[in-house]
Structure 1
Amino acid sequence: MRRFALSSFLTGTLSALVATTSATAALPAWAEAPKVVVSIKPIHSLVAAVMRGVGDPVLLVRGGASPHSYTMKPSDAKALSAADLVVWVGPELEGFLEKPLKANAPKATRLTLMEQTGLTLLQTREGGAWEAHDHGHEEHGHKDHDHKGHDHAADHDDDHDELNSHIWLDPANARAIVTATADALAARDPADAEAYRTNADRTLQAIDALDAELKATLAPLKDKPFVVFHDAYQYFEARYDLSAVGSITVSPDRRPSAKRLSAIRAKIAGLNAACVFAEPQFEPTLVRTVVEGTKAKTGVLDPEGADLPEGEALYPTLMRNLAASLRGCLGA
């Protein structure tokens, strides 16, 4: 009896092991969520919303670091080498990623947001109070609040530096980013496609509600001129018909000359600009310098959520904070 019992036990155990092994072998390739790496916090927030309940994307540029001056860490290279999908704005913003993407993530799917359909893309402003760029083209830019976008791939042959890359600051662009992300994830991970689509739909509804809220909040600021630290807010301005009249510097990692600061101070006084905005990642002394002798107040705008914790809640919080800072400084 004992031999029979032992034999039956072993037979049953082996059968169970074989069944388990067969079931494991039959599992889809994406039994685990795809490994997703995202460049900056606002985009990471939108991607995290699409991936809710499936997986957690890895963020490269953390805390208050800026993509304009970011240096890759060994942990970043390791994350890229393991990535199945990398989501970034493009070389216009994250120039530090161009070579590492080729070297560390050659087989990963690359979602370059500046190349996606459905985006409004605006040229970087220059001339006058908008500091000129170091290229040989004629003056060009965003004039008279022309809100029309254009297809980057179809009809734009300009260099990377000539497109404003802060695309997420227009909620309509955030919608396009969410849709493109859901499509890329569903293609890479068909088993969870329904979850991505459901999450995307929920996120799009939240973005629409946020957009309506911000329009109401910012409506009183339409004709109040202000100066920004660098030309990061054009999409936000265009969406809500705001009146930025110049920037202190063309790029956060490039200090303006004394002549440039003097010209901005004159512009502030001449236009009676109500406020000059700094950014949390960069030295505030420049802003204090340009408002000396003027009636302008100072404030802080944060286009990337430098002081916010990463995650789903970052994007709507960032957008509401921009609106609150503008209203607070412009006196509405």
Structure 2
Amino acid sequence: MLKTTAFVTLSGLILTGVAQADVPRVATDIAPVHGLVARVMQGVGSPDLVVQPGASPHGYSMRPSEALALNQADFVFWMGEALTPWLEGSLETLAAEAHVIELLHAEGTTTLAFRTGARFAGHEEEGDEHGHEEEEHHEDEHEGDHEKESDHDEEHDGHDHEGVDPHAWLAPENGKLWLGLIADELAQFDPENANSYLKNAAEGQAEIEAVVTKVNAALDPLRSGGFVVFHDAYQYFETSFGLSALGAISLSDASSPSPSRITEVRDTVAELGATCVFSEPQFNQGLVATVLDGTNAKTAVIDPMGTALPLGPQFYPSLLLDLGNRMASCH
């Protein structure tokens, strides 16, 4: 239900306009979703952000102000339980009266299944799938137990790695689709500003198209060489721009890779001639150095969340462009 102030002065109505009182209060989970909503609401209002830049979305302790934003929200746009499992309960208790839209499962959204191996499908050598299992089986008993324990820790830290990969915001087509969905939802709720929402969404979609053209041109050199990522968050971007990662150092940004996984990734870089190993700003750079050891691969820092980018209506196209340029710089 819309929250409005009971006492509004005549001068306040003149200064802000009657339509301003009807602007919905909107909360979002992560910065990329916030950017899309901010683009749709540009010139009308501003959404609130729950998970602050630099924080992991997979596990987060809300501040009182963020809990209040959920409690006061008329709408909550979020990626979904697959990315922020802790948020589902908070939505049920704090945002029970809000319209909650889970973008990952919105009609028309392109989704991809998780990749779980250190070396991704399409890059395995014959017999590779079972080679590492056989190697671990012949290790001495103590070391084998240690590595199995490490693998167990890796698989059970962070979010679930079965089903749909939640990093779907890195597909530009999803971003365009969601702009339209957000605009339609807000326009129905707030018809006085419907034209603004719909116009903003259309302009935002055109901005994404323009950025896709730039990113495609920038990434041309990278298509001729393979690369490894720190954690598997980029397959939507890869699919959208015709790239193909060889593997990932870590299963998740919420877990540490086992020694056997690091060895497998390092072997992948050497055997398949990877030209680049991408790190991320908030994670252990020493692991990247280990993977690079003895190879000719370069390295660059990329970030699927756009932590260093300013929030606001231009965040989403800026994220795509920044990611594309950073990846291209590593060729």
Instruction: Give the structure-2-normalised TM-score.
Output: 0.80
2:242 is matched with: 241
1:31 is matched with: 21
* Cα deviations by residue, 1:101-146 (Å, 9 ceiling, x for unpaired): 0111011000110111222111111235159xxxxxxx9xxxxxxx
Matched, 1:60 2:50: yes
Q: Amino acid of the residue matched to residue 212 of structure 2?
A: D
1:310 is matched with: 311
| Matched position secondary structure for 1:246 | strand
Q: Is the 8 A contact 1:49 1:199 kept in 2?
A: yes
Q: Which moved more, 1:61-70 or 1:115-124?
A: 61-70
Q: Amino acid of the residue matched to residue 202 of structure 1?
A: E
Which runs of structure 2 are paired with 1:1-332 in the superposition (5 Å)? 31-127=21-117, 129-130=119-120, 161-330=162-331
Residues paired across the two proteins, number: 281
| Matched position secondary structure for 1:123 | coil
* Cα deviations by residue, 1:272-299 (Å, 9 ceiling, x for unpaired): 1111111112222221122122222111
How far apart, CA to CA, are the structure 1 residues paired with 2:104 and 2:224? 30
How far apart, CA to CA, are the structure 1 residues paired with 2:68 and 2:19? 22
| Matched position secondary structure for 2:112 | coil
Shift of the alpha carbon at 1:220? 2.6
Shift of the alpha carbon at 1:29? 9.4
How far apart, CA to CA, are the structure 1 residues paired with 2:245 and 2:264? 16
| Matched position secondary structure for 1:197 | helix
Shift of the alpha carbon at 1:46? 1.0
Q: Is the 8 A contact 2:118 2:265 kept in 1?
A: no
Instruction: Give the structure-1-normalised TM-score.
Output: 0.80
Q: Which moved more, 1:196-205 or 1:284-293?
A: 284-293
1:10 is matched with: none
Task: State the Cα RMSD in Å.
Answer: 2.2
How far apart, CA to CA, are the structure 1 residues paired with 2:189 and 2:289? 49
2:155 is matched with: none
* Cα deviations by residue, 1:77-109 (Å, 9 ceiling, x for unpaired): 111100100010001111121110011101100
How far apart, CA to CA, are the structure 1 residues paired with 2:246 and 2:104? 25
How far apart, CA to CA, are the structure 2 residues paired with 1:116 and 1:196? 19
Same amino acid, percent of matched pairs: 44
Shift of the alpha carbon at 1:36? 0.3
Q: Amino acid of the residue matched to residue 292 of structure 1?
A: D
How far apart, CA to CA, are the structure 1 residues paired with 2:227 and 2:212? 22
Q: Which moved more, 1:251-260 or 1:215-224?
A: 215-224
Q: Is the 8 A contact 1:278 1:298 kept in 2?
A: yes
Q: Amino acid of the residue matched to residue 42 of structure 1?
A: P
Q: CA 1:160 to 1:57, structure 2 compared with 1: closer, same or farther past 3 Å?
A: farther
2:154 is matched with: none
Query: Gaps (5+ residues) in structure 1?
Result: 1-19, 132-138, 140-158
Shift of the alpha carbon at 1:58? 0.5
Shift of the alpha carbon at 1:31? 2.6
Q: Is the 8 A contact 2:31 2:52 kept in 1?
A: yes
Q: After TM superposition, where is structure 1 displaced by more than 6 Å over at least 4 residues in a row?
A: 27-30
Q: Is the 8 A contact 1:224 1:242 kept in 2?
A: no
